[in-house]
Structure 1
Amino acid sequence: MATTNLNISVIDKRMMKQSEAASYTGLPVKYFKATCPVRPVELKQGTLLWDRKDIDLWIDGVKSGSVTETRDEILGRL
């Protein structure tokens, strides 16, 4: 009887495109754009990427109640 081995290596991406970052948070892209205070980084000209660690910090802040943005601050990012 033949046996087969399958080796899978998974590397978690640290930097994500906007759609990936929105999916990571479980939010629709439109809502992510309007509410996420994390600033993207331009590692490659014309490509904005969001840092997973910064998103995690934002979510942790929301969970602990330390994030208090005003409506004007959110609208200012739009």
Structure 2
Amino acid sequence: MKAELPYWPAALRLDQAASYCGLSVDTFKKVCPVKPIEFTQSSRGHRWLRLRLDAWLETIDPKDPQTVRVRRRIGDMLDKSPEPITRRRRREQT
């Protein structure tokens, strides 16, 4: 049985926008440069446009050499290096 993909509305709430990007809400708030549109004065009325999120996500494509600077800035925002983490091998006990 095939799992169906979720339906994503054109304008997403904060939790939906973070989930759409595959990020936690806290991380999404730190790194996403896309500004929400305001349906109401309340922060609950903010919505992120899916098309703008798609455009932003395309700019951080790891296979595109032109996006290296963008990826580095996101790593800086998270206080992490953009380089992949390498793990040390455990020493074998004898």
Residue number in structure 1 paired with 2:39: 43
Which residue identity does 2:35 align to in structure 1? R
Partners of 1:28 and 1:11 lie apart in 2 by 19
- The DSSP-based 3-state class of the residue aligned with 1:44 is coil
Identity of aligned residues (%): 31
Partners of 1:22 and 1:55 lie apart in 2 by 10
* TM-score of the two chains, using structure 1 as the length reference: 0.68
Residue number in structure 2 paired with 1:21: 17
**Structure 1 residue 21, shift from structure 2 partner:** 0.2
Instruction: For CA contacts below 8 A with separation 6 or more, give which structure has more relative contact order.
Output: 1
Partners of 1:67 and 1:41 lie apart in 2 by 26
Partners of 2:31 and 2:25 lie apart in 1 by 10
Which residue identity does 1:25 align to in structure 2? C
**Structure 2 runs not aligned, ≥5 long:** 1-5, 79-94
**Structure 1 runs not aligned, ≥5 long:** 1-9
* TM-score of the two chains, using structure 2 as the length reference: 0.58
Residue number in structure 2 paired with 1:55: 53
State the superposition RMSD in angstroms: 2.5
